[in-house]
Amino acid sequence: MKQMTLAALAFTYVVAAANALAQPLRISDGDVTDAYIYLLGRVLVIRQEHMDRGAPGFAYNTIKYNPIGSADWVNPNLDTAYLEAWFAVDSDTPIIFEVPEIKGRYYTAQILDEWGEVIANINDRIFPSKPFGKFALVYPNSTAKIPTDAARIELHSSKAKLLGRVEIKDDKDEALKLQQAFKANALGTPTIKAPPAIPMFDNRNLMGVEIFDDVDDKLTSALDVAPNAAPMQQKVRAVAAYVASGQQARAAVDAQIRKIVPEFIEYTFTKSAPYRNHWVGGSAVGNYGADYRLRTVANYAGIWANTIDEVIYFVATRDTNEQTLNGSNSYVIHFPADRLPESVSEAFWSVILVGVPDYRVVPNPLNRFHLNNFSPLAKGADGSLKIAVGPKPVAGVAESNWLPSPESKPFSLTFRTYVPKDLVKRGEWTPSPMTKVD
């Protein structure tokens, strides 16, 4: 009798377990939101790697020296001579990266991982003990031999992105010479894996439920150094399992994502950082800790964001009336004499106009896409500065201070303060707002 009872009990457990497995997994809307935004941060970098690989002449471990003044870039920085590369290493093969000695102008060699986290900035401020010379970029915990005169920099995974910048100032020839002096070579032939396959998408039409297909390929392709990476990746896998459980679940998650995307885009430009003077900005980007949402925002709005010791970004998409910036309107930014942008940057400042939602410069007859502290700007008799934005020059503002805007189209401004002073870091200075004028 006892044996029959135990057998029946065991049978009951088996049936219960089978029924549990047959039940569809249940995932909350909050789980879907968290998992989607976390995973999107990685997918945006994967997309960028695919785009870079598709460029003419692309090769890993080969520096691309962008033409000075090139604007073919998301939120380009037209104040510097750019260089970029995708570095790829393995446990036996480091990269030797050489930085020239640069004096009297801003420069940095920014190295980022495959989630958009800054690994290092090589310059005379962050690397005062070795601001130039040879650097060995190595795979995590690699024991490969490196030259004795090379400083070791350990990467987070097998790949890293380089963005080098040399301030142009008023001497393009010297900036070009210094740009070309950055060099890189691999000490061998590393094994290089292609980035995970994804359907390509643009910023207006972000990925839907298909983002949860093949999540292990995406997650295991690069180490995430965030302290909450393990629980977030488990949440991603749980949502992926739910999506794979049937068409009804897949459709439900896709419907939820269609609600998440516009909310995320709105959050990016209005709530992702302090909102002051109708500019959003001032957050500590570049290294994000557990704030995966801010990391995804940065990868979406202007990939490869740098740390606040190097630059602080501000973005304007609305005027003083909280109306979306429109290229058919005219606006003025008025900096009082005691709040000039040059007074808050140790290096330089810059403001650039880009279209929405591609965040690329808008063609205009002047080929004038940005203004900075080396632009021939006219100041008022009281020392103040006015910048005009509109389809035509604005009365009362010198034409040299005018940024042309695209008629009948939305746009945004990105304001950069390079090597910002402490009051900018503390949030005590923000660009003056965009005021619509007749």
Mean residue pLDDT across the chain: 91
Measured at the CA of 206, the angle between CA 214 and CA 225, to 5 degrees, comes to 55
Lookup: tokens for 210:
């298909």
- The pTM assigned to this predicted structure is 0.85
Q: Would you state the pLDDT for residue 36?
A: 98
Helices (H) and strands (E) in the chain, counts: 8, 19
Give residue-wise pLDDT tens across range 175-209.
999 999 999 999 999 999 999 999 999 998 999 99
Domains and their CATH numbers in the chain: 25-49+196-270 (no CATH), 61-186 (2.60.40.1610), 275-437 (2.60.120.600)
Strand partners of residue 410 = 326
CA-based nearest residue to 328, from 388, 252, 407: 407
The single-letter DSSP state of residue 349 is E
The single-letter DSSP state of residue 402 is E
Q: Would you state the pLDDT for residue 302?
A: 81
Q: Is the pLDDT of residue 422 over 80?
A: yes
Give residue-wise pLDDT tens across range 237-274.
999 999 999 999 999 999 999 999 999 998 988 888 89
Q: Is the pLDDT of residue 20 over 60?
A: no
Q: Is the pLDDT of residue 305 over 60?
A: yes
Using CB atoms within 10 A of its CB, is residue 150 exposed (0-12), middle (13-18) or buried (19+)? buried
**How would residue 309 be classed by pLDDT, with cut points 50, 70 and 90?**
very high
DSSP 198-239: -----SSS---GGGGTTHHHHHHTS----TTHHHHHHHHHHH
Q: Is the pLDDT of residue 8 over 60?
A: no
Give residue-wise pLDDT tens across range 38-63.
999 999 999 999 999 999 999 999 99
Using CB atoms within 10 A of its CB, is residue 139 exposed (0-12), middle (13-18) or buried (19+)? buried
Average pLDDT over residues 302-315: 92
Q: Would you state the pLDDT for residue 14?
A: 42
Neighbour order of strands in the sheet with 64-65: 64-65, 80-88, 159-167, 107-112, 118-122
Give residue-wise pLDDT tens across range 97-149.
999 999 999 999 999 999 999 999 999 999 999 999 999 999 999 999 999 99
Q: How far apart are CA 219 and CA 227, in angstroms?
A: 15
**How many CB atoms are closer than 10 A to CB 62?**
13
Give residue-wise pLDDT tens across range 370-410.
999 889 999 999 999 999 999 999 999 999 999 999 999 99
Q: Would you state the pLDDT for residue 19?
A: 43
* Residue tagged 């885009």 (tokens): 265
Lookup: tokens for 191:
């094994």
Q: Is the pLDDT of residue 89 over 90?
A: yes
Task: Judge contact between 140 and 157, C-beta under 8 A.
Answer: yes
C-beta contacts of 144-150 below 8 A and 24+ residues apart:
144/91, 144/92, 144/93, 144/94, 144/187, 146/94, 146/96, 146/187, 147/96, 150/96
Give residue-wise pLDDT tens across range 142-176.
999 999 999 999 999 999 999 999 999 888 999 99
